[in-house]
Structure 1
Amino acid sequence: MKFTKMQGCGNDYIYVNGFEEKIPSLEKPELARRLSDRHFGIGSDGLIFINPAAEADFEMEMYNADGSRSEMCGNGIRCVGKFVYDKGLTDRRHISVVSAGKVKYLDLAVEENGGHGGRGEVSRVRVNMGSPILEPALIPVEAAGDRAVDEPIYVDGREYRMTCVSMGNPHAVVFARDVAGMALEQVGPLFENHRRFPKRINTEFVEIIDRRNCFMRVWERGSGETFACGTGCCAVAVAGVLNDLTDSAVTVRLLGGQLFIEWDREADLVYMTGPAVTVFEGEI
């Protein structure tokens, strides 16, 4: 099987061209676990198949490093945009990608460097990530009221305050101090598997720098701490506005880089802009 290793802000995935590689669906979870292993496999935060789609230009079929399916990945979908353009699967710079039934729209920024037969190659991607979901039952999170904003949650005997947002996948945003020094490997799994999250949760721990900048670390369900999470950054931007901590446009700094997030309040749409990088290609 041929593959391409790609990353967005250090959030790395193995990409497989589903137009050419035919892997039985039942084998994909185990394949994701085996290939994602950083000691005995290729090493990644997960496995993504790029497939034909009826309702969009392409489908993103995504598996976490533990083999579980994921609905959406912001860094992952940017790399899908780079893959399909750089590989010649499309000549268009505005494309649509469906994942778990939800269609996202991508604008591809192409560097005219003469590569790829003179077509250039994609360096950055802006994604319309759609509208944030705030209703607790749809995230899902167990919470009273129509929103879970600055909601108390008790983890290992300590009270945290969380704001829950779905960007196609569930997030709990926790604003805190000294995020760089947090023992995420201890607290992350406790959030991920907390009884209040029926489908587990991605948890973002965020330190506010000013109203247009913040620093984030993330514990992703099924993958552990990653260098970045695109949907998590979108959730952070929404949570920052809802808690009156940030403006509607914010740069989120991550272990692997930074993403620029805009929440168009009038249209209720979140836009994410960031890099997409090919690391290497191979065959396994």
Structure 2
Amino acid sequence: MIIEILKCHGSGNDFIIIDEMNGQYSFSEEERVVLSKQLAGRDKTVGSDGILFIQDSQHADAKMRMFNTDGSEAEMCGNGLRCVARYVIERLDKEELIIETMKADLPVAHVDDIFDDIVTFEVAIEPVSLSTQTIPLVSNQADHIDQVIEGLPSHLKFTGLSVPNPHIVTVVDEVNVSEVQNIGEKANILKDVLPNGVNVSFLKKVADGQIYVQTYERGVGLTNACGTAMSASSLVSCLLGLNTFDEKILVLNPGGMVQCLVKKDDHGQYFIRLRGNATYEFEASVDFNFANPEQTELLDQTIFEEEIALYDRLATAAKKMV
């Protein structure tokens, strides 16, 4: 079977897009898992942090489903949503639209460049909840804010939230990548405390209005960036007084940078807007054999060299700011 793919990334968090709109393909749920495991893993045919399936929606402009490299489906993916936003906006020739995700229909829009010549999109990260039941996180508190989590090292205090996928965020003076990896792995086997697993982020304040975030992503591992994690970390930075609500926050990460805006309404509800790149790396055809996935071949690859070079400038600038 020949499958057309598009490789893209948001802040270095990279994905494979497969367009299923208008009945172009008809995969079973089992086939989506097989595709994700064979195409997406770093040692597999293409290599990425996951697959974005774009489908028709009955009530929105399009529907996004995101599958991790282990075949699990994520509730939400902020960086992936920006990539989907660009693809559908260009496909439908619109400047803004609504994308259906697992938990909510979310507005997305083409906005002013975040960096010179970097095509930029803004997406809503919703719904947001601090409730430990929503995450879920087993805690004796209704909201678990800047506290130790049972089973994790006591020198680290975490804030738990869902956006809507589950996150825990800790504030540190310096980010140790090995520690992020170790804590991420440990948190995801603490099923008596975090039954659905969790994304783990280490947050460092760089300057007023600027933070650095490194994330261990559930179902993936260490990533260059995680859109929902950067959004969650921005909210945590406001909750703990490191940043201010209603003011843009520059979020630096190993893959580059994004902007987040966190708002709180009169009813205590939180709203987050994530703004950043959606860079195309290459398009190609894949000759996929579901009977024998290991025989899959990548064909007819076209690389978007200019877009890659432009984003490299942003990534270089971001590294100098950390």
Deviates more, 1:164-173 or 1:37-46: 37-46
Q: Does 1:241 align with 2:241?
A: no
Q: In the alignment, residue 217 of structure 1 is paired with which amino acid?
A: Q
Q: In the alignment, residue 261 of structure 1 is paired with which amino acid?
A: C
| Aligned residue among 210, 222, 225 for 2:222 | 225
More strand by share: 1
SS of structure 1 residue aligned to 2:273: strand
Residue 187 of structure 1: aligned partner:
183
| Aligned residue among 163, 174, 180 for 1:167 | 163
Distance 1:247 1:101, change over 3 A: closer
Residue 304 of structure 2: aligned partner:
none
| Aligned residue among 165, 170, 195 for 1:198 | 195
Q: Does 1:275 align with 2:272?
A: no
Indicate conservation of the 8 Å contact 2:89/2:97, yes or no.
Answer: no
Residue 117 of structure 1: aligned partner:
none
Q: Does 1:27 align with 2:22?
A: no
Q: Which runs of 5+ in 2 are unaligned?
A: 287-322
SS of structure 1 residue aligned to 2:157: strand
For the residues of structure 2 that align with 1:110 and 1:265, how far apart are their CA atoms? Answer: 24
Distance 1:6 1:23, change over 3 A: same
SS of structure 2 residue aligned to 1:152: coil
Identity %, equivalent residues: 26
Residue 252 of structure 1: aligned partner:
251
For residues 52-91 of structure 1, the aligned pairs below 5 Å read 52-86=56-90, 88=91, 90-91=92-93
RMSD: 1.9
Name the count of aligned residue pairs. 273
SS of structure 2 residue aligned to 1:153: coil
TM-score by length of structure 2 reads 0.80
For the residues of structure 1 that align with 2:60 and 2:103, how far apart are their CA atoms? Answer: 10
Q: In the alignment, residue 207 of structure 2 is paired with which amino acid?
A: D
SS of structure 1 residue aligned to 2:183: helix
For residues 116-195 of structure 1, the aligned pairs below 5 Å read 123-155=119-151, 157-194=153-190, 195=192
SS of structure 2 residue aligned to 1:43: coil
Distance 1:144 1:177, change over 3 A: same
SS of structure 1 residue aligned to 2:149: strand
Indicate conservation of the 8 Å contact 2:52/2:64, yes or no.
Answer: yes
SS of structure 1 residue aligned to 2:133: helix
* 1:17-45 deviation line (CA, Å, top 9, x unaligned): 01212222221112101101222310000
For the residues of structure 1 that align with 2:275 and 2:151, how far apart are their CA atoms? Answer: 33
